[in-house]
Amino acid sequence: MTAPPVSLPHTIAEVFAPLVASDPDREALVTPSGRWSYGELDRLCDRAAHALAALGVRAGDRVAGALPNDLDVILAFHGAMRIGAVWVGINRALAQPEKQYLLDDSGTSLVLCDGATAAQITGPHVVRVEGDAGEWPDALAAVPDDPFPSSVDPSVAAGIAYTSGTTGYPKGAVHSQYNLLVPGAVIVAERGFGPDLRKGDFLALTILNMQVLTTLLTAQAGGCCLIFDRSDAASIAAWIRKERVTVWNGPPALIYSLAHSDDIAPDDLDSLDEVWYGGGDCPEPVRAVFERKFGKPALGCYGLSEAPTVVTIDPVDGRHPFGASGQALPHLAVHIVDDEICVGPVTSGEWSGVYRTMLRYWDRPEATAEALRDGLLHTGDLGFVDDDGFLHVRDRKSLLIIRGGANVYPAEIERVLHELPDVEACAVVGLPDERLGERVAVAVQLHEGATIGEEELRQHCLAELARYKVPDRWLFVDDFSRNSMGKIQRRDLPALFT
């Protein structure tokens, strides 16, 4: 095996080290609250590790973060990595039962969060992170301003990325520090990124994939990580223009909004060298409008939490066969096994052996055995690879709905609705939508004599689920078409709404 064309940091604690040694004053991070050089950011990450250790965190402990996109979520992640703890991101948009489930399932011992989340959860030690007051700022202020003595095994569990499951409960994909460092190293080498990189991200950094694609990527290019905390198209366009962002990624819904908004001028995105979209299919007409307006293509990606993150991406030159989702990164091989998309390492050449699959699903041995077979990660997605190596995804994981870039599993919503005694049966389906990709729709069959209405069902879902998962199309039916096993014939559902 030849040496790969990248030199990976041994651990995440070392990812800033080359720049700290050679150019500590180079800009490393910009967030809504400030700007930090590589030297400053590295020192703050050491302080975060000292603070977490003083709060009782040890190697292997699960540390959760439910924080906005700003400095603290980055410090908490890097501090946990320097200790050898396991990071668990908790999206603040989740409803209280969803947050509590992730904390309980992971066995989290400490959670850093805002006041709203602190009021919702029980169990772990809650450390409030709000401005300059509270336990976290006090902990940071109380520790020595010294390097943290990090000694971490990069092959053991370092992060859990929860992904919704077909049983209605999320399961956690477990990754090592090695796994989390590889995508950034490969993308930097494959795209030719260097010190001029100014990569902008607005998606929640509580998503493990976003930690991979932000500081872990930009540090390996020697570039700058730009973090934003707004998700509306006008604000994002203004931020891209102000900060001279060179690479940006967002869901298809935002590609649509940027392309169709009269308030966003073509030169607002002049600084961008690359625009990526993922989290769902972007309709080809939307891509065409975007390219005509801004003079640059929107580049398709395919990725998943279990990979982690990017598996395929369109080339920089914009080549994009109709309906494709890019070509595999050079350390990956995409295999089609019985029409299923599977991912594994390349077995020859300079990238041979660099890729490693996720370690497992957290406390899910049966799901792990199903996903990791024959040295491959079985994604559950169906598709094919064309003669030029472009991946075409024919269908998402069985019933997955992708609404505005967010994954919605019908089983989660159906489980919540079945908590109500008036509901006899229900079935959730995605309906095509030009802007969001899909909208969430549900057909409900009530027990005879039940009088519950749409608004009561909606309010129950709002109390139990993130808002983006709550159906916005409702239909009441007398009965469902079922197969010989008594299961609802889901293929018949979309026609009911038309």
Q: What is the pLDDT of residues 64-94, one digit of tens each?
A: 999 999 999 999 999 999 999 999 999 998 9
Predicted confidence band of residue 62 (pLDDT cuts 50, 70, 90): very high
Within-domain flag for 228: no
Q: Quote the CA–CA distance of 457 and 423 in Å, as a whole number.
A: 9
Residue 157 to residues 146, 176, 178, 242, 412: CA-CA distances in angstroms?
A: 26, 5, 10, 38, 27
CATH number of residue 119's parent domain: 3.40.50.12780
Preceding amide of 308 cis, omega within 30: yes
pLDDT single digits (tens) 323-378: 899 999 999 999 999 889 999 999 999 999 999 999 999 999 999 999 999 999 99
Q: What is the mean pLDDT of residues 408-432?
A: 88
For residue 278, being part of any structural domain is answered with: no
Sheet with 34-37, strands from edge to edge, namely: 34-37, 27-31, 224-227, 198-201, 247-250, 274-277, 298-304, 309-313, 327-328
For residue 143, pLDDT beyond 90: yes
> With contact defined as beta carbons under 8 Å apart, do 378 and 337 qualify?
yes
Examine residue 382 and state whether it is found in any structural domain, yes or no.
no
User: By CB neighbour count within 10 A (0-12 exposed, 13-18 middle, 19+ buried), where does 223 fall?
Assistant: buried
Query: Which of 152, 176, 200 is the last residue in one of the domains?
Result: 176
Residue 438 lies in a domain: yes
Residue 484 has pLDDT above 90, yes or no: no
pLDDT of residue 1: 43
Structural domain including 450 reads 407-496
* Domain endpoint, select from 176, 211, 239: 176
Establish if 475 belongs to a structural domain.
Answer: yes
Angle of helix 454-464 relative to helix 410-417, nearest 10 degrees, comes to: 120
Helices (H) and strands (E) in the chain, counts: 16, 26
Q: What is the mean pLDDT of residues 173-199?
A: 97
Number of domains in the chain: 2
**233-290 per-position pLDDT tens digit:** 999 999 999 999 999 999 888 998 999 999 999 999 999 999 999 866 777 888 999 9
Residue that finishes a domain, picked among 127, 148, 176: 176
- For residue 364, give the amino acid letter: R
Whole-number pLDDT of residue 131: 74
**Crossing angle of helices 233-243/252-260, nearest 10°?**
80
Structural domain contains residue 217: no
- Of the candidates 306, 349, 346, 340, the one whose C-alpha atom is nearest the C-alpha of residue 328 is 346
**H runs (alpha helix) in 388-471:** 410-417, 454-464
Summary mean pLDDT of the chain: 93
What does the alpha-carbon distance between residue 118 and residue 99 come to, in Å, rounded to a whole number? 11
Establish if 298 belongs to a structural domain: no
* % of the chain beyond a pLDDT of 90: 78
87 Cβ contact partners less than 8 Å away, ≥ 6 residues apart:
62, 63, 64, 65, 77, 80, 81, 158, 159, 160, 208, 211
Full-model pTM:
0.86
Lowest mean pLDDT among 6-10, 167-171, 431-435: 167-171
Instruction: Please list the residues that pair with 86 across neighbouring strands.
Output: 62
For residue 10, tell me if it sits in a domain: yes
What would the mean pLDDT of 181-193 be, rounded to a whole number? 97
Question: Which pLDDT belongs to residue 163?
Answer: 87
Give the domain CATH number at 455: 3.30.300.30
